[in-house]
Chains A and B, each alone.
Chain A
Amino acid sequence: QQQVKQSPQSLIVQKGGISIINCAYENTAFDYFPWYQQFPGKGPALLIAIRPDVSEKKEGRFTISFNKSAKQFSLHIMDSQPGDSATYFCAASEGAQKLVFGQGTRLTINP
């Protein structure tokens, strides 16, 4: 019940395309859903986060779509750039505290 399942494991997108990463959770008590970007040898950097009272949140080229009934949420990266190549993690928690992470998605943007 504590798991967060993330897919795909790896993703290759052409420059300018849309990158989509999906996550599903089981614990209905989760109320905080962040996405993190991680480069090799670095800690995760918070990209964007959403609470279950909204279905979508957009910040620049990054959008979270949230489906409470399906217990799923996704990250969309518009106009993907080579600099977006990194590993992306979704996560979930009760409050912004004890996060449970997805398995990660290695995103590669081809020039």
Chain B
Amino acid sequence: GAVVSQHPSRVICKSGTSVKIECRSLDFQATTMFWYRQFPKKSLMLMATSNEGSKATYEQGVEKDKFLINHASLTLSTLTVTSAHPEDSSFYICSAAGGSANEKLFFGSGTQLSVL
């Protein structure tokens, strides 16, 4: 199946710093990628839809200035958590549509963010 690579897998940072998470589609081009957030033992909540070459679309309640998304190429989307605070600590996961007709959604391995 299609491979989505996410980096880093784990990051610990101090409060007030910014953290960038990368999501790459390794063997296919993805015009659209999605960013999810997952709290411990909870389901995945969609944060935003990342569109190559255009602005991201954010879900209701997600601060676009806090979570900056850039989709500069067909294989790379980045999520930057700006001025991170402890409440931003979470598991962040990206996904991209793949398959012969973009009929399947594949996920990265996730990034565990811990803000001290």
Contacts and interface: CB of A to CB of B under 8 A. Distances in A.
B69 interface: no
Interface string A32-56: 1010100001111110010000000
B93 to A, nearest CB: 5
Contacts, number: 60
Contact of A42 (B34, B104, B106, B109): B109
A45 B107 CA distance: 7
Interface in B62-116: 91, 93, 95, 97, 99, 102-110, 112
Q: How big is chain A's contact interface, by range?
A: 20 to 34
Contacts of A44: 44, 93, 107
Nearest to B4: A43
A66 interface: no
Contacts of A96: 97, 99, 102-105
Secondary structure at the B interface, as helix, strand, loop or mixed, is: strand
A1 interface: no
Interface of B: 1, 4, 6, 32, 34, 41-46, 49, 91, 93, 95, 97, 99, 102-110, 112
Interface of A: 32, 34, 36, 41-46, 49, 89, 93, 95-104, 106
Given A41-B112, A96-B103, 19 more contacts: A32-B103, A43-B107, A43-B110, A46-B105, A89-B43, A89-B44, A93-B105, A96-B97, A96-B102, A97-B97, A97-B105, A98-B46, A99-B34, A99-B46, A100-B46, A101-B44, A103-B43, A104-B42, A104-B43
